[in-house]
């Protein structure tokens, strides 16, 4: 088997150099000699909210995506910013970009969606910045184990390899509805998760997503974790699961149960498709 | 001229009875004998986040919308909840519902959009709950003056009666993209405003809205006020106007300047259409 060579770029927020060092140390200790993790210096740039301006982020992304030496492109961190570079990244891809796997989640869903639509291999997966979480080394190790060994235990356990699957942060999925980057999700199991949103906003996002005629063609929804939910004033009166069940009922989309994904160190890998 | 009879319902959050009394007192003092304002008792119900459950809110809405005695239906308050009742309200409308004008803004935009799509008369306008703002009596008086006297000074000043116009809270416009409730906005001047959203979220909402092929057919965007913007960490690096100009540039949508609307007592009336 060819050696795994993982290129890390930051399409959204910047990474601290010390975080990159921790990930490199962990990868060396756990998978010595079997993989190389290369952090693009763009990861450490800073321009307002972002890890460098749009040109810098798109340029670094394309440099690694178009480099035939990399087997994987791993998104350093979420936050916000991936959506801003989708058009220029899509415009700059060459043939070598298709022969690798792209991994990220949260804000990175903008790129995962657009790349999946193009027929590229993409996966919702823990990212380097997750090492800063409590228990975060397990999350990063899980992503690396899947990239390096194809470890099945890294996968979200409901994946049956029969139904195609995708996983998205709910806000990002909502921001994709009605745009050219939304892949055809007919027949897919769609896993959603959310962080730092009020319950009323989660309800509103589900109202949006489940009202889309395209989304109504999915095989069903699975709910991942909703974490750091700010207090609703007044109390919303429904749990996240009750909210999802409500909108599944209204829209006729089957509710399939929970999903083992979220903004936490337990977050599992979901390769898009079958 | 027939007497103006305004029915107030609460499709989203509940109104305090004292707020209704203040509006009634103001309407009587300023427009004595020329208008009647009737608050549906549903305005004062409470069910979790909402002014009564979905059935109660949709039922009260339809009761007033289908009553030929009302010339206007005025949304008591925004918050969140209008989007939940759009399908059942649309299903229950009778012929009498078309012969009146519907007024609201913010969360009420879900209903304004769906009703405008049906060819009903709707307007973005101050609402009863606005009387609680500093200077709020002026806002409520402005909406009443437009309903009762057709006062032109109440209108958003850029309206030229040549280009059709609409006005939306940016989040609500985003939640309409790709749904069956989105009206055809080809050739429209689209005014947007926002409240209590981070700059990164405003940028993300504009990424979404301006990436829609349907929205790219509008005549242009105008930016109303963005108020109560929480601190961005790190600083976002662009002002709201710069953000709108950025996305107008990316999408080819003309940026037409500012709009005199927002979550404040200066908020002007924008009747949808010409």
Instruction: Give the pLDDT confidence of B100-151 residue by residue, as tens digits.
Output: 999 999 999 999 999 999 999 999 999 999 999 999 999 999 999 999 999 9
Is residue A47 assigned to a domain? yes
Is residue A192 assigned to a domain? yes
A·B CB contacts under 8 A: 94
Q: What share of chain A is helix, strand, coil (3-state, %, to 5)?
A: 40, 20, 40
Q: Give the domain CATH number at B31.
A: 3.40.50.10740
pLDDT score, position A2: 64
- Asked, as a colleague might, if the bond just before B234 is cis with ω within 30 of 0, I would say yes
Per-residue pLDDT reduced to its tens digit, A127-146: 999 999 999 999 999 999 99
Is residue A159 assigned to a domain? no
- Is A262:A130 a contact under the CB 8 Å cutoff? no
Average pLDDT over residues A63-75: 98
Q: How many domains are there within chain B?
A: 2
Structure tokens at A127: 């990212």
Average pLDDT over residues A81-88: 96
Domain end position, chosen among B111, B135, B154 = B154
Does residue B130 share a domain with residue B11?
yes
Does residue A72 share a domain with residue A19?
yes
Does residue B124 share a domain with residue B182?
no
pLDDT score, position B3: 84
Does residue A78 share a domain with residue A57?
yes
Is residue B108 assigned to a domain? yes
Domain end position, chosen among A154, A175, A193 = A154
pTM flag (> 0.90): yes
Does residue A108 share a domain with residue A25?
yes
CA distance B91 to chain A (A): 14
Average pLDDT over residues A178-197: 97
- Is A76:A39 a contact under the CB 8 Å cutoff? yes
CA distance B151 to chain A (A): 35
Strands B101-104 and B255-258: unpaired
Q: Give the domain CATH number at A232.
A: 3.50.30.60
Does residue B138 share a domain with residue B21?
yes
- Is B195:B220 a contact under the CB 8 Å cutoff? no
Is residue B192 assigned to a domain? yes
* Gap between the Cα atoms of B142 and A7, Å rounded: 59
Does residue A97 share a domain with residue A143?
yes
- Give the count of beta carbons closer than 10 Å to the beta carbon of residue B53: 17
* Gap between the Cα atoms of B170 and B68, Å rounded: 33
Tell me which residue range forms the domain holding A220: 165-271
Does residue A143 share a domain with residue A193?
no
Does residue A143 share a domain with residue A180?
no
- pLDDT < 70: residue spans in chain B: 1-2
Are the beta carbons of B47 and A212 separated by less than 8 Å? no
Is residue B160 assigned to a domain? no
Q: Residue A3: which pLDDT band, with cuts at 50, 70 and 90?
A: confident
ipTM of the complex: 0.95
- Chain A 217-236, residues with CB within 8 Å of chain B CB atoms: 232, 234-236
DSSP-H helix ranges across B93-221: 109-117, 136-149, 170-176, 199-211
DSSP-H helix ranges across B151-198: 170-176
Structure tokens at B235: 């600083």
Does residue A209 share a domain with residue A122?
no
Preferred mutation among B47, B48, B113 to probe A, highest tally of A CBs within 10 A: B48
Does residue B230 share a domain with residue B104?
no
Strands B35-39 and B72-75: unpaired
Is residue B225 assigned to a domain? yes
- Is B272:B124 a contact under the CB 8 Å cutoff? yes
Is residue A207 assigned to a domain? yes
Domain end position, chosen among A154, A178, A196 = A154
Number of Cα atoms under 13 Å in the Cβ half of residue A110:
25
* Gap between the Cα atoms of A68 and A98, Å rounded: 9
Does residue A110 share a domain with residue A68?
yes
From chain B, pick out residues whose CB is under 8 angstroms from the CB of A212.
178-179
């Amino acid at each position: 088997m060819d050696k795994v060579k993982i290129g890390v770029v930051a399409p959204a927020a910047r990474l601290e150099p010390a975080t990159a060092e921790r990930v490199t140390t962990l990868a060396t200790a756990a998978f010595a000699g079997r993989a190389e993790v290369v952090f693009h210096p763009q990861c450490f740039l800073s321009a307002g909210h972002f890890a460098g301006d749009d040109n810098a982020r798109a340029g670094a992304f394309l440099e690694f995506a178009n480099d035939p030496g990399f087997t994987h492109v791993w998104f350093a961190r979420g936050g916000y910013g991936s959506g801003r570079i989708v058009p220029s990244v899509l415009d700059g891809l060459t043939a070598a970009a298709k022969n690798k796997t792209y991994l990220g989640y949260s804000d990175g869903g903008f790129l995962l969606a657009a790349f999946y639509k193009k027929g590229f291999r993409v996966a919702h997966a823990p990212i380097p910045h997750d090492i800063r979480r409590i228990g975060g080394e397990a999350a990063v190790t899980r992503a690396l184990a899947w990239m390096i060994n194809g470890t099945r235990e890294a996968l979200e356990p409901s994946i049956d390899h029969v139904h195609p699957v995708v996983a998205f942060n709910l806000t990002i999925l909502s921001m994709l509805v009605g745009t050219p980057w939304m892949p055809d999700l007919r027949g897919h199991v769609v896993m959603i998760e959310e962080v730092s949103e009020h319950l009323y906003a989660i309800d509103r996002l589900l109202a949006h997503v489940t009202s889309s005629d395209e989304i109504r063609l999915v095989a069903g929804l699975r709910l991942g974790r909703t974490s750091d939910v700010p207090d609703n004033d007044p109390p919303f009166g429904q749990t996240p699961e009750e909210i999802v069940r409500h909108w599944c009922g209204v829209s006729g989309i089957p509710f399939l149960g929970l999903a083992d994904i979220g903004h936490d160190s337990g977050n599992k890998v979901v390769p898009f498709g079958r």
